[in-house]
Amino acid sequence: MTNSESPVTCHSSLATLWARGRELLGCEYAIMGGAMSWVSERNLVSALSNAGAFGVIAASSMPPELLDKEIKATRTLTQKPFGVNLIIMHPKLAELVEVCVANNVTHVVLAGGVPKGPTITRLKEGGAKVMCFAPTAALGKKLVKMGADALIIEGAEAGGHIGPVSTSVLAQEILPVITDVPVFVAGGIGRGEMIATYLEMGAAGVQLGTRFVCASESIAHANFKKAFLNANARDAMPSVQYHPDFNVIPVRAIVNKASEEFTRFQKETVEKVHAGTQTREEGQLAIEHFWAGSLRKAVIDGDVERGSLMAGQSVGMVTSIQSAQEIVDELVAQAQGYLNA
């Protein structure tokens, strides 16, 4: 293989397995960057797309005007396709959708809940491919009927907010029964061999977040990256729900003082709700804001003791600072090597 040939052009097996995902995303490798708040911004997103993968902006709690600036700024750094991840529960979701449409965003990932039909319809009218998270096969089929162009299934091994089922089980449940749209697998993926395995099972591509946190282009604070480099899989644990009547979506993160503070914060919030000084909705929002503020404290300010170190269990496979291109090339080489073995 010459230096000008990529592993995909030299070997047909990997190219064939993720051809559907590549076609949908419009990129060389069907590897999506997971949308990580504060981390998945213009620099990392453009670097991933320039490396042949597919970067995704994490809109998170951004106001519409900030998302507009971020999309435009990303376009100055890459001519390759990239997407935007929108959180369903955002109070200005409709406005964020219009920002995506006005900027001709080609791909929008809807996360954090079940989107409404009009949201999907508006994005598709604006020319975007719509991708949705499917925690079950039944919901996945419903989302396809609603117009989703692709699905993402994410297991409990992932970082941040997680569901209760592992990636491998979700893949076995969903990949054989949903074949009319491309399905991307996420959660706990840190090496190319795993990518190839899910592709062989029927996935159109994959999504990785934790693996890219320590990319040299990532703006995450040096302390945040160091915490990832020093952690292993068993350090990334899900948060504990304090009260059985007060549902909290668990968050997987590297255990630190913030983990303990979250339990204490839940206790205080539940007491306020039961005392009538705070509504349940206000309490839930306060808990969500705890993580958003805590994450910024770690990612941007470098406070790795009291900030949230959201990370997937694949964090143990993050062992050095590499460029996005180096990480992507490594994953592709591992996948192709596995298939050639």
Helix (H, G, I), strand (E, B) or coil at 237: strand
> H or E stretch including 210?
none
Question: CATH 3.20.20.70 occupies which residues in the chain?
Answer: 7-219+320-340
Q: Residue 11: its pLDDT value, please?
A: 44
Distances 66 to 20, 42, 57, 58, 63 between C-alpha atoms, Å: 33, 12, 12, 12, 5
Residues in the chain: 341
pTM above 0.85, yes or no: yes
Contact 21, 30 (CB under 8 A): yes
Relative to beta strand 251-254, strand 236-238 is antiparallel
CB 123 within 8 A of CB 102: no
pLDDT number for residue 9: 41
C-alpha distance from residue 291 to each of 1, 83, 113, 132, 296 (Å) = 47, 24, 17, 23, 9
Listed as ranges, residues in the chain with pLDDT below 50 are 1-11
pLDDT score, position 240:
82
The pLDDT value recorded for residue 8 is: 43
According to the model, what pLDDT value does residue 226 have?
98
Please give the pLDDT value at position 12.
52
The yes/no answer on whether domain 7-219+320-340 falls in CATH 3.40.50.300 is no
What is the token pair recorded at 208? Answer: 């990785």
Cβ pair 121, 97 in contact under 8 A: no
Residue 60 in 3-state DSSP?
Answer: coil
Q: How far apart are CA 183 and CA 153, in angstroms?
A: 7
Angle between helices 42-50 and 64-75 (to 10 degrees): 40
Cα(247)–Cα(172) distance, integer angstroms: 27
Can you tell me the distance from the alpha carbon of 136 to that of 133, in angstroms, rounded to the nearest whole number?
Answer: 9
∠ CA 198-199-200, nearest 5°, is 90
First to last CA, the chain: 17
Q: Assess contact for 50 and 85: CB atoms under 8 A.
A: no
Residue whose token pair is 């592992």: 166
